[in-house]
């Protein structure tokens, strides 16, 4: 699974873009549009959201939860690489390259190690808070 797609879809959602098309991902990730589209369809098949033909991908509640997890992992890895002396930008690139290969054990370890840290090197909160959307989703479900 290409976790980076979930993370980027979530980032877009936080910026107000609810449905993200393949070209968004192909621009950000430097992959072809068909590759991006295929990845998005796979994510929908795995129940992380819906793929709306000719429009794009929309995360569902499960997808959002997964995205938060992946985002935290990404930011913990950024902290690690930053400690190794990389710039925030390079730390982010390295984290993107490696994030989906990291075991839960390593994530737990990083979380303990950076336990007192609130922000990643780029200044984002390590633990995502996105309550507004959760409330909205809940209301929709009622």
Interacting residues toward Zn ion by CB under 5 A: 78, 120, 122, 124
**Residue closer to Zn ion (CB basis): 55 or 125:** 125
Contacts of residue 76, Cβ cutoff 8 Å, sequence gap at least 6: 107, 110, 111, 114, 120, 126
Q: How far is the CB of 125 from Zn ion (least distance, A)?
A: 10
Q: How far is the CB of 88 from Zn ion (least distance, A)?
A: 6
Q: How far is the CB of 66 from Zn ion (least distance, A)?
A: 18
Cα–Cα distance, 88 to 102 (Å, whole number): 19
**Residue closer to Zn ion (CB basis): 33 or 68:** 68
Do strands 49-52 and 56-59 pair parallel, antiparallel, or not at all (unpaired)? antiparallel
- Using the Cα atoms of residue 107, residue 108, residue 110 and residue 114 in order, give the sign of their dihedral: positive
**Residue closer to Zn ion (CB basis): 53 or 85:** 85
**Residue closer to Zn ion (CB basis): 38 or 100:** 100
Give Rg (Cα) of the chain: 15
Cα–Cα distance, 56 to 13 (Å, whole number): 12
Q: How far is the CB of 140 from Zn ion (least distance, A)?
A: 30
């Amino acid at each position: 699974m290409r976790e980076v797609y979930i993370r980027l879809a979530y980032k877009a959602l936080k910026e107000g873009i609810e449905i993200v098309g393949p070209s968004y991902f192909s621009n950000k990730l430097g992959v072809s549009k068909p590759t991006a589209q295929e990845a998005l369809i796979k994510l929908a098949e795995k129940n992380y959201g819906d793929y709306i033909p000719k429009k794009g991908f929309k995360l569902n509640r499960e997808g959002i939860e997964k995205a938060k997890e992946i985002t935290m992992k990404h930011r913990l890895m950024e902290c690690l690489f930053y400690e190794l002396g990389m710039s925030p930008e390079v730390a982010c690139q390295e984290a993107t390259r490696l994030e989906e290969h990291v075991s839960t054990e390593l994530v737990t370890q990083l979380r303990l190690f950076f336990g007192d840290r609130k922000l990643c090197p780029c200044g984002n909160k390590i633990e995502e808070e996105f309550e507004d959307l959760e409330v909205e989703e809940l209301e929709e479900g009622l």
